[in-house]
């Protein structure tokens, strides 16, 4: 069996955090030119991402662009939402600690891969977690809590509002980062291949955040987490009985891999994305029953080979 690590062997890396939204919303008519220079010099290429994709800059003139910035940050709805972000995320230290620990584990397991700078921003509810130029940006307005009035105003369904909680930021960030570096290994679109890819990602997340609860890693409620644990054999039996493993027809298995109100065809207690959990359990068994390194497993592309080597047989 391949020994992943002992916690005491993990050296803590230094992770850089940048608060783009704090500088952006401090711009006024007197300091605009100076603040725009700060955004350009201190935030690297994220400032270009912000201009192109969030503000969608329309003018090459700095003077005209400043007016575009003013329109964005002084819009009553944007300002009110930003005020909530500023209040809720004035202290970001808990997330910084989680992510520093997570990326320290990532560096230990995948030392040849880069470590990102992490930038927080406010993007008008358009972007959650994005990757760019080997870095990560977090749209904090998308993590204001499932009871936020803004999600009611946006008419977000309940199952999506649930995902917009502070406690899910670290899992979201690490999933985005793993996708950035390993999604090229997902070469087939059949259900088994997609489920095992999600399982590999969740196995990594589990190892990288040893102090985060399993339900927060999977972004389930405690009850949902317990249901999938108790019903692992039944879920697998459903996949087998309905001949889903090698299906390419995504409508048959979409709710088992994506956010949705429920897992189609299963009891009401079954959460969407149950495939994440089954894929994870298969990878757990693969790591137990082989001497492969995690990086080797992450680079495997043949779903049938992974399943066979795992010797996965859930209890009924």
CA 256, 262, 268, 270 dihedral sign is: positive
For 20, the enclosing helix (H) or strand (E) is helix 20-24
- pLDDT of 1 strictly over 50: no
The whole-angstrom distance between residue 166's C-alpha and the CA centroid of its chain comes to 12
When pLDDT is averaged across residues 283-304 and rounded to a whole number, the result is 95
Write out pLDDT tens, residues 42-76.
Answer: 998 999 999 988 888 787 787 888 899 999 999 99
- pLDDT of 77 strictly over 50: yes
Q: Mean pLDDT of all residues in the chain?
A: 93
> What is residue 193's predicted lDDT score, i.e. its pLDDT?
98
Q: What does each C-alpha distance from 287 to 2, 96, 195, 246 come to in angstroms?
A: 7, 29, 16, 23
> What is residue 108's predicted lDDT score, i.e. its pLDDT?
94
- The model carries a pTM of 0.93
- pLDDT of 9 strictly over 80: no
When pLDDT is averaged across residues 16-44 and rounded to a whole number, the result is 94
Regarding predicted confidence, which is higher, 289 or 60?
A: 289
> What is residue 11's predicted lDDT score, i.e. its pLDDT?
86
pLDDT band at 144 (very low <50, low <70, confident <90, very high): very high
> What is residue 316's predicted lDDT score, i.e. its pLDDT?
67
When pLDDT is averaged across residues 92-117 and rounded to a whole number, the result is 96
Write out pLDDT tens, residues 223-276.
Answer: 999 999 999 999 999 999 999 999 999 999 999 999 999 999 999 999 999 999
The rounded distance, in Å, linking the Cα atoms of 54 and 72 is 10
> What is residue 156's predicted lDDT score, i.e. its pLDDT?
96
> What is residue 2's predicted lDDT score, i.e. its pLDDT?
40
- For residues 156-186, one letter each, b for 16 or more C-beta atoms within 10 angstroms of the residue's C-beta and e for the rest, the string is beeeebbebbebbbbbbbbbbbbbbbbeebb
Task: For the chain, give the percent of residues with pLDDT over 90.
Answer: 88
Write out pLDDT tens, residues 157-209.
Answer: 999 999 999 999 999 999 999 999 999 999 999 999 999 999 999 999 999 99
> What is residue 63's predicted lDDT score, i.e. its pLDDT?
84
> What is residue 6's predicted lDDT score, i.e. its pLDDT?
52
Tokens of 9: 């062997």
């Amino acid at each position: 069996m391949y020994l992943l690590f002992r916690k005491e062997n993990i050296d803590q890396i230094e992770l850089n955090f940048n608060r783009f939204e704090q500088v952006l919303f401090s711009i006024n008519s007197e300091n605009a030119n100076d603040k725009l220079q700060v955004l350009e010099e201190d935030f690297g290429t994220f400032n270009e991402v912000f201009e192109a994709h969030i503000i969608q800059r329309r003018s090459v003139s700095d003077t005209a662009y400043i007016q575009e910035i003013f329109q964005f940050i002084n819009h009553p709805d944007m300002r009110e939402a930003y005020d909530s972000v500023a209040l809720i995320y004035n202290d970001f230290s808990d997330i910084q600690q989680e992510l520093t620990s997570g990326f320290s584990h990532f560096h230990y397991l995948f030392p040849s891969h880069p470590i990102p700078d992490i930038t927080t921003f406010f993007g008008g509810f358009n972007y959650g977690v994005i990757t760019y130029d080997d870095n990560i940006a977090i749209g904090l307005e998308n993590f204001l809590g499932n009871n936020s009035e803004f999600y009611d105003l946006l008419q977000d369904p309940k199952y999506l509002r649930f995902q917009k909680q502070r406690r899910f930021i670290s899992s979201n960030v690490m999933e985005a980062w793993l996708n950035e570096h390993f999604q090229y290994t997902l070469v087939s679109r059949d259900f088994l291949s997609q489920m095992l890819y999600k399982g590999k990602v969740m196995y990594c997340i589990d190892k990288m955040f040893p102090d985060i609860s399993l339900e927060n890693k999977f972004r389930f409620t405690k009850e949902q987490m317990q249901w999938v644990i108790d019903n692992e054999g039944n879920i697998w039996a459903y996949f087998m009985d309905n001949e889903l493993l090698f299906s390419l027809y995504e409508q048959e298995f979409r709710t088992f891999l994506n956010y949705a109100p429920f897992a189609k065809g299963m009891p009401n207690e079954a959460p969407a994305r149950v495939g994440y959990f089954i894929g994870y359990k298969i990878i757990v068994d693969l790591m137990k029953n082989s001497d492969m390194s995690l990086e080797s497993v992450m680079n495997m592309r043949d779903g049938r080979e992974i399943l066979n080597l795992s010797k996965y047989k859930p209890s009924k």
